[in-house]
Structure 1
Amino acid sequence: MILSFSGVVFLGVIVTLLSRKCGLKLAHAMVCALFGFYLASTAIAPSIHAGSQSLAGLLGGLKF
């Protein structure tokens, strides 16, 4: 749960930065969000979740 919440906050910050700095329109961000909601209800959602968990584990294991 913490990973998904922090992921949502992180992606929200990225969308905000892109909308302010790179010209991402609010309509484009809304379409991306709707696409994500619809994608979450498809059969590929478990694969996406497993991939994001694997990436989070990889990034969490990095030592600087």
Structure 2
Amino acid sequence: MTLNISLVLLLGIVLVVLIRGGTLKAGPAIVSVLFGFFLASTSMAPDINRFVSGVTTVIGQIQF
């Protein structure tokens, strides 16, 4: 059985859990989101996308 979930959705859920658990305050969370948003518009975005795609491919090939 395979489970497909958007990485954005997964990271959003983790962010909400961290904020609600008190591990991460709202201010740093907003700064992190804005950093990611602006980082996506830089020339580094394709390299980051390739890296994340490679990592998720490797994780997807792991057999339990």
Please confirm whether the aligned pair reaches a TM-score higher than 0.5, indicating the same fold.
yes
Cα RMSD for the two superposed structures: 1.6
Q: Normalising by the residue count of structure 1, what TM-score does the alignment of the two structures yield?
A: 0.84
Separation (CA, whole Å) in 1 of partners of 2:52 and 2:22 = 25
Higher helix proportion (structure 1 or 2): 1
Q: What residue is the counterpart of 1:57 in the other structure? A: 57
Structure 1: gaps spanning 5 or more residues: none
Identity of aligned residues (%): 38
Q: Normalising by the residue count of structure 2, what TM-score does the alignment of the two structures yield?
A: 0.84
1:13 and 2:13 correspond: yes
